[in-house]
Structure 1
Amino acid sequence: MPDVPFAHDAVSGSSDIPRCDDSAVPPAHVAKELDRILSSPHFQASERRQAFLRFIVDETLAGRADSLKGYTIALAVFRRDDSFDPQADPVVRLEARRLRRDLDSYYVDSGRDDPVRITIPKGSYVPHFEWHKMHTADAPSREPALELHDDSTTAAATRANWTTKPGIRRYGPVAAALAAGVVAWIWLAARPPPSPMTPREPAVLVMSFTPLTPGENTRLFAIGMGQELTSNLFRFGGFRLYTSPSNALSAKGDEAPQPGRPLGASYVVRGSVQTSAEEVQVTTTVFNAENDEIVWMRTYARPFDPQSLMNVQRELASEIATVVGQSYGVVRNDIRADPPRNMESYLCVLRAQAYRSTFRRVDFDPAMQCLQQTVQRDPQYSDSWAMLGWLHLDAGRLGYSADGNPQTEYDKALEATSRAIALQPNSPLALKALAAAYHFTGRYADSDRISHLAIDLNPNDPDILAQFGWRLAIRGNFSEGVPMLKRAIERTLHPPAWYLHFIAVDLYLKGEYKQMLDVAETASLRDSGFSQLLIAIANTELGRRDATQTALKGMSRYKALADDPAGFLRRNGAADQVVDTLVAGLRKAQALVAS
């Protein structure tokens, strides 16, 4: 699907306004805009992403846009060697995604009045240069050389001077020096309201970690923790991520702004580091920025070994990012305030995710209707297409489809998830949804391939592990699937019921009925007909007739499962071994109750 500019970047098609194509903005204006971006304290890109932006802009202005491929950028910017494989190493794709976010954040904040905009369309590394509609009066109708001299030779000479290596190099060092000298933190206030066509997700601000113990090791560890945590959080979608500069404390020791101060931020992550001869302690707190309420806080302690300090730093940052950023993590669980109107699309996706934690029939229709409206209103919002794909899968496999034809719903799911991937190729949510769509259409090899790619892109996301583990287990591969499910549960604050189901099935196959019952009852706390089936089977093996009868009555409320258990399991991709085992267990339970 072709990409379109951000809604707030769009320029009217009126005949007296320049068109938004690369030729409409002279190179000198592009160079000035690049200088303005790189010197801004509000442009939060890392040094490497600044180099990335500088490289692709310079190459485009030099007439080498056709060479801007992942391989070329990896060698020139990310210091990869000739053996670089863009399929095995997604560094360029990931950093391009982050750079797009950096530019978007800059243009909705301090860069909102810039006369020129530099964007990087999804699916390409070639930047676009366009006049901002608020400044079309400033845009020259022709390039300055032509307007002043009406001489195409002079214009060509002017362009040639810009594209020579000395001319290209002139801007990079100046911007880098200015950026390096700036000590400020990001302010999210005083921004214009975003276009209703652009879903505005909650903003998460990661403050620098504070060293509470004197010493260089502690200071460096604190700096590294903030950087590493930010890097890990970037792999999760669903919120905008902002960072403060590495030096959150001034030379005088003044405190950085307090949690509730950054207007526009939804959540603020703050941390502190203490070290002793024996251990390092990291305390992390997530605040609701509106009221300074502590949403989540935890202290981690690890043995202090200077030789392994970097490994400890990575481990802790990964663990904290998982708790904060995952689908069932701190930020997602705390979204509770009445939303502004410009968050309708995002909140629709949240509503659909909430439905999918329980799969209650009563919640399905409102979620489906909301998503269908969202993809019409915001057709470029990848997450809404991904969630729409999920709900079409549920309509087919859970019997929620109006026409009762699962295959029709699976085809719609594949179409929606493919569109989500086209809009955002590295979106974790879109990849998970596409992997599920492949599973339910019987393309298991493709499903596994996409699942592995999603895990490679974000090994910290337990939901990716749980979905892959569930699919492996239901196809009979318990030896690989169950460990994945257990790892996902260990990393999740409030795991949904389906994380637990096939752990219980595995225990049943092993004859561990008491443990199976414990797991199934834990799952049932989040309401699931399948949990009731498992409880009935476990109680049957334990000889508990009354408890079995109660569970079977609970299961009967879920018609898709109760009316045709074998068909329900097969619609979910269950292997014959799984179907036969569970159906036999159900019949045994029914016989016990009937006796």
Structure 2
Amino acid sequence: MPAGAYIVKLALVAQSSQRMNSLYSSALMNASSDEAVTQDEIRAELARILASPEFKASPRRREMLIFLVDEMLAGRGGELKGYTIGTSVFGRGPDFDAQSDPVVRLEARRLRRDLASYYVSAGRADSLRISIPTGHYVPDIRRTADSDLPSKGEIGTGGSDISKTDPDPPATHIRRGVDYLGGKPVRRTAALVVAFALIAALGYMYFGRLPPGDSSESLPLRGPAVLVRPFNSHGDSSNIPILAAGISERLIADLNRFPGIRLYVPRANDDQTALADLIGAKEPDTTSFVLTGSVNAQGTGVRIGAQLVDVMSGRVIWAEQFDRQLEASSLLDLEADIATAIATAIGQPYGVIHTELTGRLPHGFKPEMPSYECVLRAYAYRRTFATELHAPILACLEASVKRDPEYADAWAMLGWLRMDAARFNLVAPEDMSLAYSRALEAASRAVALDGRNVLAFKALASINHYIGNYDESERIQRQALALNPNDPDTLAQLGWRLAVRGRFQEGIPYLHKAIERSVLPPGWYYHLIAIDHYMNGRYAQMLEAANKSATDNSSISWSLVAIAQGALGNDAAAREALAKMAVISPLLNRDPTAAYRRHQATEEIIQALVAGLSEAGWHRQAAQQ
């Protein structure tokens, strides 16, 4: 996982139980004092630990600590089992067996030592102590006196902590982000202060205070870097600053769902921090952006503005304004609506950022092209599936995973490119089975590397579709959609596969929703919409959709244009579209039945399209000569 995304992911896990309408306080009575320990105190202590250079835990163990504290405060401590931690923190799949895979037990032991080391050094004077008792995963929170702290001789000795086996009862499904904790509401403003203090502490720790040379578990920087500044607020209404803070919080969460984006937040007490400063670069990162925004009272309404600025040039590459009515009862819906719209516009695979960076790509392919550039070029290829781009991008991705074997995005794209070699007949017939097998292997590797990577799940779902595992493909694709409901590409792929298997009523709404949420949708988003119109006799609507799809200049798109023109009686236009189709894909011109069938379309769809081509002027014998 990219380092910046990891940082924000850590902060987001810590915030998950304190969404602005679902924060509740709980007074925890510790064993040594009658004085209550409040939720705010616990989160402040957690922030101090994470921000300290003396806390040597790896990124995964930091995430584990946040998850354990978060679940305990949410009242789900009884559900903290090895299975839930393995699947929620360490990216293991639903078949994870904590008994055979000891990752949770081993990392819990290391985390205990990390915490003990912190409390004999930087945390010696802390008023609270967070520990993970041996034999349990539920954190112990207590007020401390000097006598409570371990001596240096106890650190790293292991003792009973190593000899005992951590508990691992049968798997229990957990639901994160439950709305209740103890039954008493916490004031929203106080919760926000804690949430942003924790984010700021995490950003400060990662960007400015990592100990020199402590890079044994650092992750390579990949993909565009985005600094998200807190939205400014202007106006007399007390709801305005609350809304601004809520949008900022939700925006980070929504952006974090899109793979490949490195997210950053300003250091503590420094909302003017430049992204180049945060990443410690002497020169601005050429793939760096700053997202800013404001919330302004407008009578009984509110105007929310957002801008995305390119750090290198200072150019505003995207800006949008949203005018809404301001009602206290609908603040949560409003912040979700705005944050989702902004995150989707700039973060989706064919959104503002990827489109901007794709436009900057130099011509040609270098032998040692950076891994992220290979992935970015693969995104561009997947807009059109141009045959001439396949071989160099495939080679680029193969090289990327060799030099960067932990890069899940590269493995996911490699799975797609290997699949394309088979489905587009770019390998010999006898090698197709091997190509699909290697595609499945690459996509499965991507999921294993990052169990929350939407791109990896989409690739795995696509490959399963093309090898005929339709039910498994749908299951995996819906899993991808659950990880990021705002990704138009995920919506489109699910809709496309449902429709191509004849389930038009289920699939077409997904495709329309994907198009509505896309800045510049790829042509294939329209293919099944056009086919649905054709099979229902709506030829004018089919032509409109087919023309929109033809912006990708693919053979399938031109075949749909030809069918629509033929059905409308526009013979000359139909012949022109057929000619373009034949140049782009001799196979589709020679044997359209085989060409359509390779996409796993139903026989009803295939027969209808071939009949449509014939009506448009295509003749089998002439095409085969």
TM-score by length of 2: 0.68
1:409 aligns to 2:435 (yes or no): yes
Residue 442 of structure 1 is matched in structure 2 by: 468
Q: Shift in Å at residue 207 of structure 1?
A: 0.5
Q: 1:125 to 1:370 in 2, by over 3 A?
A: same
1:293 to 310, 315, 326: 315
* 2:51 alignment partner AA: S
1:574 to 601, 618, 621: 601
Residues 201 and 343 in structure 1, CA contact (< 8 A), matched pair in contact too: no
1:430 aligns to 2:456 (yes or no): yes
Q: 1:158 to 1:432 in 2, by over 3 A?
A: closer
* 2:332 alignment partner AA: M
1:531-546 equivalences under 5 Å are: 531-546=557-572
Question: Distance in 1 between the 2:380 and 2:109 partners?
Answer: 37
* 1:53 alignment partner AA: R
Residue 526 of structure 1 is matched in structure 2 by: 552
Residue 39 of structure 1 is matched in structure 2 by: 51
Q: Shift in Å at residue 523 of structure 1?
A: 1.1
Question: Distance in 2 between the 1:178 and 1:334 partners?
Answer: 30
Question: Distance in 2 between the 1:324 and 1:42 partners?
Answer: 37
1:348 aligns to 2:374 (yes or no): yes
1:495 aligns to 2:531 (yes or no): no
Residues 444 and 460 in structure 2, CA contact (< 8 A), matched pair in contact too: yes
Cα RMSD over matched residues?
4.5
Q: Shift in Å at residue 229 of structure 1?
A: 0.2
* 2:330 alignment partner AA: S
Residue 586 of structure 1 is matched in structure 2 by: 613
Q: 2:75 aligns to what SS in structure 1? A: coil
Q: 1:394 to 1:305 in 2, by over 3 A?
A: same
Residue 337 of structure 2 is matched in structure 1 by: 315
1:232 aligns to 2:254 (yes or no): yes
Question: Distance in 2 between the 1:91 and 1:158 partners?
Answer: 25
How far does the alpha carbon of each residue in 1:417-454 deviate from its partner, in whole angstroms, 9 at most, with x for none? 11111111111000000011111111111111111111
1:49-198 equivalences under 5 Å are: 53=62, 56=65, 75-76=71-72, 78-80=74-76, 126=108, 198=220
Q: 1:37 to 1:417 in 2, by over 3 A?
A: same
How far does the alpha carbon of each residue in 1:515-536 deviate from its partner, in whole angstroms, 9 at most, with x for none? 1111111111221111110111
Residue 463 of structure 1 is matched in structure 2 by: 489
How far does the alpha carbon of each residue in 1:378-425 deviate from its partner, in whole angstroms, 9 at most, with x for none? 111111111111012211112222456433322221111111111111
Residue 186 of structure 2 is matched in structure 1 by: none
1:283 aligns to 2:295 (yes or no): no
Q: Shift in Å at residue 94 of structure 1?
A: 6.0
Q: 1:525 aligns to what SS in structure 2? A: helix
How far does the alpha carbon of each residue in 1:170-222 deviate from its partner, in whole angstroms, 9 at most, with x for none? xxxxxx99966978975968999999993532211100101122342111111
How far does the alpha carbon of each residue in 1:296-322 deviate from its partner, in whole angstroms, 9 at most, with x for none? 000011221111111100111111111
* 2:598 alignment partner AA: R
How far does the alpha carbon of each residue in 1:482-528 deviate from its partner, in whole angstroms, 9 at most, with x for none? 11000000000010010011100011011111111111111112211
Residues 199 and 344 in structure 1, CA contact (< 8 A), matched pair in contact too: no
Q: 1:525 to 1:467 in 2, by over 3 A?
A: same
Q: 1:257 to 1:182 in 2, by over 3 A?
A: closer
How far does the alpha carbon of each residue in 1:277-314 deviate from its partner, in whole angstroms, 9 at most, with x for none? 43221111000011110010000112211111111001
Q: Shift in Å at residue 244 of structure 1?
A: 2.6
Residue 587 of structure 2 is matched in structure 1 by: 560
Question: Distance in 2 between the 1:521 and 1:203 partners?
Answer: 35
With 239-248 and 537-546 compared, the bigger mean Cα shift is at: 239-248
Q: 1:42 to 1:317 in 2, by over 3 A?
A: farther
Residues 200 and 268 in structure 2, CA contact (< 8 A), matched pair in contact too: no
Residues 344 and 351 in structure 2, CA contact (< 8 A), matched pair in contact too: yes
* 2:456 alignment partner AA: A
Q: Which runs of 5+ in 2 are unaligned?
A: 5-45, 92-101, 114-150, 162-193
Residue 31 of structure 1 is matched in structure 2 by: none
Residues 208 and 246 in structure 1, CA contact (< 8 A), matched pair in contact too: no
Q: 1:160 to 1:210 in 2, by over 3 A?
A: same
2:423 to 371, 374, 397: 397
Q: Shift in Å at residue 83 of structure 1?
A: 7.4
Q: Which runs of 5+ in 1 are unaligned?
A: 7-33, 58-69, 98-119, 132-153, 165-175, 250-255
Question: Distance in 1 between the 2:104 and 2:290 partners?
Answer: 29
Q: 1:181 to 1:228 in 2, by over 3 A?
A: closer
Residue 18 of structure 2 is matched in structure 1 by: none
1:337-376 equivalences under 5 Å are: 337=360, 344-376=370-402
Residues 411 and 443 in structure 2, CA contact (< 8 A), matched pair in contact too: yes
Question: Distance in 2 between the 1:338 and 1:130 partners?
Answer: 47
Residues 199 and 345 in structure 1, CA contact (< 8 A), matched pair in contact too: no
Question: Distance in 1 between the 2:244 and 2:85 partners?
Answer: 25
Q: Shift in Å at residue 363 of structure 1?
A: 0.9
